[in-house]
């Protein structure tokens, strides 16, 4: 029969690593993204500056829809300028195309609408893409592609939550 002294020692040997593990999980959990941020991140949506006039007009056509879809996400609010934004979403491409599902010569036609962008937050950057793919009869839309891009932007914000919150505290002046 084990003595009380031995059982207390064994219990201590078991509880000490468990306590350290719980402390480690708590310390690393501070950088994980919550379900909703305490304050939404400010996003400024703009176009890149392409030399091609046709691409520039397509990008300008896409901006209002992308802004509306980003604003609908609980993680974001729109910023008036790039200087006051936490994240700058620069739209670099917007395109509609048709493809044949089973090859170039037979099968149903599929319509593709995609919006490519670059999310920039301080030194963190990532290429994002929104895509809507549907049979040509159902018509793919910019609205759905912009919604997918907004989902990708939310994923970007969650993956880089610690960097975005650090960036926000560095750029926000201390209140007296």
Calculate mean pLDDT across residues 86-115: 81
Calculate mean pLDDT across residues 8-12. 62
pLDDT at 14: 64
Please give the pLDDT value at position 16.
57
**Residue 74 has what pLDDT?**
92
The predicted structure's pLDDT at residue 27: 42
Convert the pLDDT of each residue in 39-49 to its tens digit: 999 999 999 98
68 pLDDT tier (thresholds 50, 70, 90):
very high
pLDDT, position 102: 60
State the architecture of 42-171 in CATH terms. Answer: 2-Layer Sandwich (3.30)
Nearest CA to 71 out of 36, 44, 33, 38 is that of 44
Closest CA to 149 of 63, 85, 78, 80: 63
CA dihedral over 51, 96, 144, 130, signed as positive or negative = negative
Contact at 8 Å (CB) between 45 and 63? yes
Burial (Cβ within 10 Å: 0-12, 13-18, ≥19) of residue 77: middle
Q: Token pair for residue 143?
A: 């609205």
Q: What is the DSSP letter of 90?
A: E
Phi then psi dihedrals of residue 78, to 5 deg: -80, 140
CB 31 within 8 A of CB 161: yes
Residue 29: per-residue pLDDT:
46
Q: Which residue has the tokens 């609010």?
A: 77
- What is the tally of helices (H) and strands (E) in the chain? 4, 5
């Amino acid at each position: 029969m084990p003595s009380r002294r031995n059982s207390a020692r064994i219990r201590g040997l078991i509880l000490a690593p468990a306590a350290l593990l719980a402390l480690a999980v708590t310390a690393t959990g501070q950088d994980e993204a919550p379900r909703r941020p305490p304050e939404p991140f400010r996003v400024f949506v703009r176009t890149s500056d392409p030399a091609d006039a046709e691409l520039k007009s397509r990008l300008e056509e896409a901006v209002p829809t992308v802004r509306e879809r980003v604003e609908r996400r609980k993680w974001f609010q729109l910023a008036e300028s790039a200087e006051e934004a936490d994240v700058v979403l620069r739209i670099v491409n917007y395109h509609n195309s048709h493809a044949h599902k089973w090859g170039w010569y037979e099968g149903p036609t599929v319509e593709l609408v995609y919006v490519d962008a670059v999310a920039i937050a301080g030194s963190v950057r990532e290429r994002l893409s929104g895509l809507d793919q549907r049979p040509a009869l159902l018509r793919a839309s910019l609205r759905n592609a912009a919604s997918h891009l907004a989902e990708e932007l939310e994923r970007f914000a969650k993956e880089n939550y610690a960097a975005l919150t650090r960036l926000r505290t560095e750029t926000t002046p201390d209140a007296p």
